[in-house]
Chains A and B, each alone.
Chain A
């Protein structure tokens, strides 16, 4: 049935069709295999996973790793020569522009939260030694460390910082700061999409929405109880399940109440904060945990951020702006929208 009317035109059409198919295949192949780069590495006492699509994805991930290691060298208290360690040692000093900006923002959060967020509790958390061999500290020692702490002891004018007493610790904001640093790299390398996790603090970069799972506070770390569909945001969570330990039948976790020096005791098990800024999402998640649902919601609102609170009785409170983007995936949890 294949007749003799095959002429050059038809052969040409077939060749063109095959070429078009080959081109489509190549583009599909390229977009599937070449453009997305993923990388996991350890820094800042945590695991960092990076997934970048588009732009110079390979250079971008390498640059991110380099920058995070540098940032770790500035913010860590483990190294005596880091910028933060020098500030603590010299009771202040002249800061780099960036570090000064971090301090300004964190001081602002401390003030607006009425001291619920405090980045000068280094001495207090050292007494608990979370992450190493945690134990309930001696009462007198704790009281002394607590009396020396307090963000009021920090004053900043221009890039000059003075620290009257207390030990500066960026533990509650370092991951968020890392996300902000990473975002500038993504912008510089013209990445299209990226999903970054710095120890559970997440940056969703680009136009596409990603599904962000909120960890089950009572279950395996990989299990989520709700998902948030978000684009172009930073998401941080503070939970009482992290770095906790048991002593004499009581469970202690790492989120300390700056007033008492003891782990926060309220209705909450975790708080997730969504913000444009990584630093704010990280710092506010801790502040909101300390403040509780009502005060926490007000604070988040003041910063134009959204928050998701999970309580001990498995109720999920979402602020109005995020209520439409959250989906509960574990039906033992109930969603309630928080009315302001």
Chain B
């Protein structure tokens, strides 16, 4: 292995990654609409909650394996209880900004904060 520690090509690699990541991040952060917590299990949306419209605290218990309890409070959504071992989803903390996401892989549950999850409404 005669690989050097550092070559100029490395700079290009790092720059490209940074630029793509920054563009992606800007694209995400630009989309600010009303905030909704979208809870999906196994790819199916089971609940959509407008975060600004919850007064006090609301909890949602999911009949997943392991069982999960999700709470909405003060414009934020979070995993409150989970029957899994690693508690990674609870460690994600409170989600309140668009794009915030917490995942519980064992229960195949994704909680994400999105703006209206449609492009336009017909009424």
- Among B57-87, those with CB < 8 Å from A are none
Query: Dominant SS at the A interface?
Result: mixed
Number of interface residues of B (CB under 8 A): 30
Say if the beta carbon of B100 comes within 8 Å of chain A. no
**Which A residues are in CB contact (< 8 Å) with B4?**
1-3
> Which residue in B8, B48, B123 is a CB contact (below 8 Å) of A200?
B123
Contact B119–A28 (Cβ < 8 Å): no
B46 touches A331 (CB 8 A): yes
Are A202 and B122 neighbours in the complex by a CB distance under 8 Å?
yes
- B48 contact set on A, CB distance < 8 A: 223, 329-330
A239 interface residue (CB < 8 Å to B): yes
A195 touches which of B11, B19, B50, B120 (Cβ 8 Å): B120
Bound-state Cα–Cα, A2 to B11, Å: 13
Asked whether A21 lies within 8 Å of B12 as measured between CB atoms, the reply is yes
Q: Which of A65-73, A80-88, A162-170, A207-215 contacts B (4 or more CB under 8 A)?
A: A207-215
Given the interface pairs A25-B23, A213-B116, the reply to whether A17 lies near B15 with Cβ below 8 Å is yes
Whether B121 pairs with A215 at a CB distance below 8 angstroms is yes
Which partner residue on chain B sits nearest A272 by CB separation?
B122
Beta-carbon contact of B23 and A18 below 8 Å: no
A195 vs B9: C-alpha distance when bound (angstroms):
43
B53 to chain A, nearest CB (A): 8
Q: Are A200 and B12 CB-contacts (below 8 A) given A24-B19, A32-B23, A222-B34?
A: no
- For A24, A210, A222, which residue has the most chain B Cβ atoms within 10 angstroms? A222
Q: Is the CB of B118 within 8 A of A213?
A: yes
The interface residues of chain B, by DSSP majority, are classed as mixed
Chain B, residues 23-60, CB within 8 Å of chain A (1/0): the string is 10011001000100000000001101010010000000
Residue A14 is within 8 A (CB to CB) of chain B in the complex: yes
Question: Cβ of B46 and Cβ of A200 under 8 Å apart?
Answer: no
Shortest Cβ distance from A35 into chain B, in angstroms?
13
The answer to whether B8 touches A239, judged by C-beta atoms less than 8 angstroms apart, is no
B11 touches A224 (CB 8 A): no
Q: What are 16 A-B pairs with beta-carbon distances under 8 A?
A: A1-B5, A2-B4, A2-B6, A18-B12, A18-B15, A24-B16, A29-B23, A202-B122, A210-B120, A213-B120, A220-B50, A220-B53, A221-B121, A222-B50, A224-B116, A329-B45
What residues make up the interface of B, taking CB atoms closer than 8 Å to A? 4-9, 11-12, 15-16, 19-20, 23, 26-27, 30, 34, 45-46, 48, 50, 53, 116-123
Additional A-B contact list (8), CB under 8 Å, known A18-B12, A24-B20, A212-B118: A6-B8, A14-B12, A49-B120, A197-B120, A211-B117, A227-B118, A329-B45, A330-B48
Q: Which 7 A-B pairs have the closest CB atoms?
A: A213-B118, A17-B12, A200-B123, A215-B123, A210-B119, A28-B23, A211-B118
